[in-house]
Amino acid sequence: MSSDAEIYDFAVGQTDPETFPVEAFKAAALRAIENEHDAFNKYPGSLGHAGLRRLMAERESVREGYPVSPEQLALTNGSMQAVTLVGQALRTGGDDYVITEEFTYSGTIAAYKGIGLKLVGIPMDEQGMRMDKLAQTLHEMSARGTLPRFIYTLTTYQNPTGTVMPIERKRELLSLAERFDVPVVEDNCYGDVHFEGEKVPSLFAMDENPRHIYIGSLSKILAPGVRLGYLYAREPMLGKIVSKRFDAGSNYFAAAVVAEYYKDGIWQHCEETNPSLKHKRDLLVAGLQAELDDICVWSNPVGGLFLWLRVPDDTDMAKLTRLANDRGFFFAAGAGFHVDYKAVPYIRLAFGHVPDELIVRGVPVLARAIREARTSNEPRSFSTLFE
């Protein structure tokens, strides 16, 4: 690849930098410094900035139609800290199993494996985790005396697949969790990145079980660099989780600035940023339709930052990666999102931060690489995203 070649970076999940509110954020930072400079000299504590917790509680209350108390919400250094704290709080040090989707966020896989948790992947379809397979797995684990410590799930705009779990399936999930007495951890870090269709309520708004846990983020709708996420849990679960943090609290300065920025409401920001992301999704889907409709199948996500692409089974994934990278096209291979790092015929395309013109010019580059990485010229033998 020559030094002046174009780079088509679909590998990293980031939002559109062109929609970042530079001037408004600068003004919010000045107000935060003026109003809260004394507090910057103190540790924020295990729950974090009270003003931002109140705003995030209001955000969830409005979105979910269920009252959320700021005293049941803890700010974290990104949602991944919340994910990790939950794992640390609920593990025992023995045979600690966690059930999750067969494909899930690579950072979660690495974090949980890193602290000694054993992941059990449940097959998926276009509506997320399959409840028949979850029920079967829970029955088998119960019979062996190895029930999971919790079920971790991305039910909305799932990473990497983009699926959304409908409310009927969520009810089944909650019913199975209650039957087997297993906590549920719902990671909703993409919940605000909504393009179209009905917004399905979160699990915590559907079930008051005090063992269930909810995780949110500001990285996907505002900016990942602010490193702010949060977790919501009822007592005593909340106390059990935050007792595992030893960082003296999340970034107070960042929280103060974001609280100032969002003090007049969050939803206007979402309305300003999401149309740009939807447009990028539409460009990507249109390009794939034009270039790969005969051999590939892909998701058409109604929110989030990712598209999940299924390539023919005879695709040499290592060769595909090499060919694409040599031509400046970068993606995330599906194996990195499989709970057992299994080689699978999928790739994830993150479109949120890619300039429109590079989406248009990049898809043909990917298409040529896929065709050249195959061992045949046969049309696809599948019609769905999942088996």
Q: How confident is the model at residue 3 (pLDDT cuts 50, 70, 90)?
A: low
Asked if residue 292 and residue 361 are part of one domain, the reply reads yes
Selection from 354, 215, 369 nearest residue 280 by Cα = 354
The pLDDT tens digits of the residues spanning 325-336 come to: 999 999 999 999
Element (H, E) at 216: strand 213-217
The pLDDT tens digits of the residues spanning 88-127 come to: 999 998 889 999 999 999 999 999 999 999 999 999 999 9
Owning domain of residue 364: 8-20+268-372
User: According to the model, what pLDDT value does residue 4 have?
Assistant: 61
Asked if residue 112 and residue 225 are part of one domain, the reply reads yes
E strands, 17-139, where? 73-76, 97-101, 118-122, 124-125, 128-129
The CATH number linked to 251 is 3.40.640.10
Q: In whole angstroms, how far apart are CA 16 and each of 20, 79, 200, 362? A: 7, 19, 24, 17
What CA–CA distance (Å, rounded) separates 222 from 191?
12
Q: How confident is the model at residue 179 (pLDDT cuts 50, 70, 90)?
A: very high
In this model, does residue 199 exceed pLDDT 60?
yes
Report residue 122 as tokens. Answer: 């449940």
Q: Which of 212, 247, 264 is the last residue of a domain?
A: 264
Asked if residue 146 and residue 211 are part of one domain, the reply reads yes
Q: How confident is the model at residue 226 (pLDDT cuts 50, 70, 90)?
A: confident
Asked if residue 320 and residue 353 are part of one domain, the reply reads yes
Selection from 102, 99, 115 nearest residue 183 by Cα = 99
